[in-house]
Amino acid sequence: MEPLLVVLLSSGVLLALFVRQYLAGRHLRKIRGPESPSWLMGHTSVVNAQFEVGALEREWMKEYGLIWRLKTCFNEDTLQIADPKALQYIFHKSGYHFQKGAVARQFTREITGPGILFAQDQDHARIRKIMNPAFTASQLRSFLPLFRHSAQKLAQKWKEQLLTGTDAATQRINVSAWLARCTLDVIGEVGFDVQCGALDDSLNPVMHAYKNMFSDAIPFPSKPTLLFRHLWRYIPMPILSFVQYVPSKEHIRFRSTLKVINKFAKDLINEKTEAVLAGKNENKRDMMSILVKANASENPKSRLTDSEMISQMATFLLAGHETTANSMTWMLYELARHPDFQNKMREEVRAIRARVAERGDSDFTVSDLDAMTHVLAGMKEVLRLHPIVYGLIREASRDDVIPLSTPVTTTTGEVVDEIPIPKGTACQISVWAYNRLPSIWGPDADEFNPNRWIEHEKMGQTYVGVTSNLMTFSAGLQACIGWRFSIIEMQVILVELIEQFEFKIPDDNPTIISFPAGLTVPLVKEDMKAGPQMPLMVSLVQ
């Protein structure tokens, strides 16, 4: 091609981009926000260089209110949102009109295949309908003994370690690593009827591939990587799928992981499908068996394709283990920091244990677990204070108007209680900031205070989320389908551990950072290179 033609064409494309950006941004320019440090990178580099979840949001919210504007690459605008009414509108009232961002969709497609985390609109609704039977209340109740099995195994491992150690009374244990192994075993058994062997140190290859997928994520992406990812939103999804072949560390890891799971899942699904066809899977209660059964009885047109089916398995592994393990890790950390509450929780578990024994039972039922007010309050408080998914990205698929519960002042001094946005506006939802709003949770919103859940069960005027007015599990049509699963799992693990062990902060008092690695990951500030860790002093309860 003639060089002049190339220059003309490139200039034309750039000009079109600028005009589009100017027109699209004319409403958003009125929204206040921090000055952009660079035309090329906007705030993207600053945000990605953060060491602590929420550190920047805290400052920006103080200055600009519950909705503010940031710049991303190439001087494009993005809205940062923590306003409850805006969240309610985006997640609960707009159907599928706020779609997931291209980067999130592409990454989940690379890690899990074309499953529910990637799907949109009717495809998403179709997959979700077939998944629902695996998450009903009765189904979850039937998982209780399996949750308990892994929880008891974890407790047994710790006991062995404590009794054989040089100082038998107390040991420093990295609880986050152990909890991740425990939840991986749970998802293997409950999800697929497969023994993963994580707590036994004999990890099966599939589970190995997904182990620590989030925590191993490469932190601090380079500027070229950030610029490249920014452009993904302009690339049609079928073409974007070729990004997986970029020879970078992350894409290589994703590809090799998906290859391992594809082979394993195909065999497992074939086995389960044969059992369904032969009427032999009636007693199988694992989630994958339920899914295969639900899919077989679905109208052939809406059935999951083979690759969608395989993807569900990867989805359970990705979405269902590190999330719960990390939440449990923060739980034990807060208990170690608040010994009085830890004791109260233990007394409550003992009292209900005595009631269970009186009625001649040996184990807690779901109702017993739900009667443990302090255990539940502690868990809700941890889910609020340490949301594992600290932010969500959505993109408006039409021109829209976002209502606000707290009006903001624009750059022209006008006070507005709604914001018109053009189609394509990127919205970054700060789950972390919403979960700490003093207007909802009170003036001590930054503190661990489980009593707030005992004193006032419902908080806030504008209800969002799937439970307890929290955004931790997201909200609306694409909210976490596994939230009840993970709450029961956490209840079971917590009760097992709190009855038998006491948790304390080590004497050297390591500084724990909640590091933003896609999921909130605990790191020790003095030893960040060691990766995720939460060292606690663990001893047997006297």
The binding site for heme comprises: 480
Please, what is the minimum distance in Å from the beta carbon of residue 216 to ligand HEM? 18
Which residues are annotated as part of the binding site?
480
Please, what is the minimum distance in Å from the beta carbon of residue 342 to ligand HEM? 20
Stated length of the chain: 542
Nearer to ligand HEM, 432 or 503 (CB): 432
Nearer to ligand HEM, 45 or 150 (CB): 150
DSSP 422-455: -TT-EEEEEHHHHTT-HHHH-TTTTS--THHHHH
Please, what is the minimum distance in Å from the beta carbon of residue 323 to ligand HEM? 3
> Angle formed by the axes of helices 121-131 and 306-320, to 10°?
70
Nearer to ligand HEM, 36 or 520 (CB): 520
Phi, psi (rounded to 5 degrees) for 402:
-95, 120
Nearer to ligand HEM, 64 or 178 (CB): 178
**Chain centre distance of CA 415:** 34
* Opening angle at CA 401, ends 397 and 405, nearest 5: 125
Please, what is the minimum distance in Å from the beta carbon of residue 401 to ligand HEM? 22
Please, what is the minimum distance in Å from the beta carbon of residue 426 to ligand HEM? 14
Nearer to ligand HEM, 324 or 449 (CB): 324
92 Cβ partners below 8 Å, 6+ apart?
A: 464, 475, 476
Please, what is the minimum distance in Å from the beta carbon of residue 329 to ligand HEM? 11
Residue ranges that bind ligand HEM, judged by CB under 6 A: 100, 104, 116-117, 128, 315-316, 319-320, 323-324, 327, 388-389, 392, 472-474, 478, 480-482, 485-486
Encoded tokens for 291: 């899914």
Residue 121's CB is within 10 A of a number of other CB atoms, namely 13
Please, what is the minimum distance in Å from the beta carbon of residue 357 to ligand HEM? 30
- Dist CA 474 CA 454 (whole Å): 23
Tokens 């394993």 sit on residue: 264
Please, what is the minimum distance in Å from the beta carbon of residue 220 to ligand HEM? 22
Nearer to ligand HEM, 162 or 318 (CB): 318
Nearer to ligand HEM, 72 or 474 (CB): 474
> Which residue, judged by CB position, is nearest to ligand HEM in the bound state?
482
Beta strand 535-540 with 426-430: parallel, antiparallel or unpaired?
unpaired
- Dist CA 33 CA 13 (whole Å): 28
3-state secondary structure 109-169: HHHHCCCCCCCCHHHHHHHHHHHHHHHCHHHHHHCHHHHHHHHHHHHHHHHHHHHHCCCCC
Name the residue among 508, 523, 515 with its Cα closest to residue 432: 515
Nearer to ligand HEM, 45 or 323 (CB): 323
391, 432 contact by CB (below 8 A): yes
Amino acid type, 73:
C
